[in-house]
């Protein structure tokens, strides 16, 4: 799959850059200036190819967590585009290239769009997400959420470091935004997630309908991402878990599915 434009509001666009087997690297572009901020650039070749093909220039990097498929391309991108570029990421120090550490409540200027930082531990203990609310600047209700490996379409990240309680709380923090919030997660896991959801909750009509829809999308070679909070509220077992005990039960079932 080649890179694709997934959203556009006024002068700003979001592009998906496929990488590896199932990763999505996200590019936030200010079209008039051709400036591009990339989220979780695990593969430098994929990002640089996107930049060169569109004549965009890299203006910054946002990192959600330290796993190699999210940060492995940073060194090469800095070498090719300038070592003084801002690299935003968790303040834990686990990503050596981060020169602008951020924490809960910080607000970043991304091409005059304000990106709010949320701490969402679970997948890792220092995982963060970036949320851009466009309402005030553009008289629009659009919200863009870059949540790494915390929330997936139909699923959530594995608990490599955090606890069920942490992940449950993180998902509910992400779930506070409007229904039309676009979720730019980092992996194309939707089809397998919906197969699990259908098996775990066979009586759910909304899950069944979502699984059928996703299968058709993938058969056509298209991306299921971005999803929206509206879709996830109807079909994502994890975000709908009532408490951390229920969440843990679902997560353990998925891990052994």
Which positions are annotated as active-site residues?
Answer: 65, 67, 69-70, 123, 149, 187
d(CA 22, CA 12): 25
Alpha carbon 219 to its chain's center:
23
Give yes or no for a contact between 122 and 159, defined as CB atoms under 8 angstroms apart: yes
Pairing of strands 35-39, 23-30: antiparallel
d(CA 254, CA 149): 15
Q: 29 has which bridge partners?
A: 13, 36
């Amino acid at each position: 799959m080649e890179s694709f434009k997934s959203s556009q509001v006024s002068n700003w666009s979001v592009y998906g850059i496929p990488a590896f087997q199932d990763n999505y690297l996200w590019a936030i572009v200010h079209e008039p200036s051709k400036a591009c901020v990339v989220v979780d650039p695990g593969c430098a070749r994929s990002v640089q190819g996107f930049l060169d093909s569109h004549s965009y220039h890299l203006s910054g990097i946002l990192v959600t967590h330290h796993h190699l498929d999210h940060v492995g391309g940073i060194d090469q991108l800095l070498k090719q585009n300038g070592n003084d570029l801002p690299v935003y990421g968790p303040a834990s120090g686990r990503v050596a290239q981060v020169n602008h550490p951020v924490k809960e409540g910080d607000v970043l200027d991304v091409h005059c769009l304000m990106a709010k930082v949320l701490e969402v531990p679970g997948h890792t203990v220092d995982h963060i997400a970036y949320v851009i609310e466009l309402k005030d600047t553009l008289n629009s209700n659009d919200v863009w959420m870059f949540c790494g490996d915390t929330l997936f379409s139909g699923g959530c990240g594995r608990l490599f470091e955090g606890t069920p309680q942490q992940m449950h709380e993180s998902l509910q923090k992400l779930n506070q935004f409007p229904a039309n919030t676009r979720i730019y997660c980092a992996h194309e896991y939707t089809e397998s997630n919906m197969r699990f959801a259908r098996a775990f909750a066979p009586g759910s009509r909304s899950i069944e309908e979502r699984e059928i829809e996703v299968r058709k999308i993938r058969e056509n070679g298209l991306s299921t991402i971005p999803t929206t909070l509206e879709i996830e509220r109807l079909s994502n077992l994890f975000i709908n878990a009532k408490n951390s005990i229920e969440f843990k039960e679902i997560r353990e079932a998925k891990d052994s599915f």
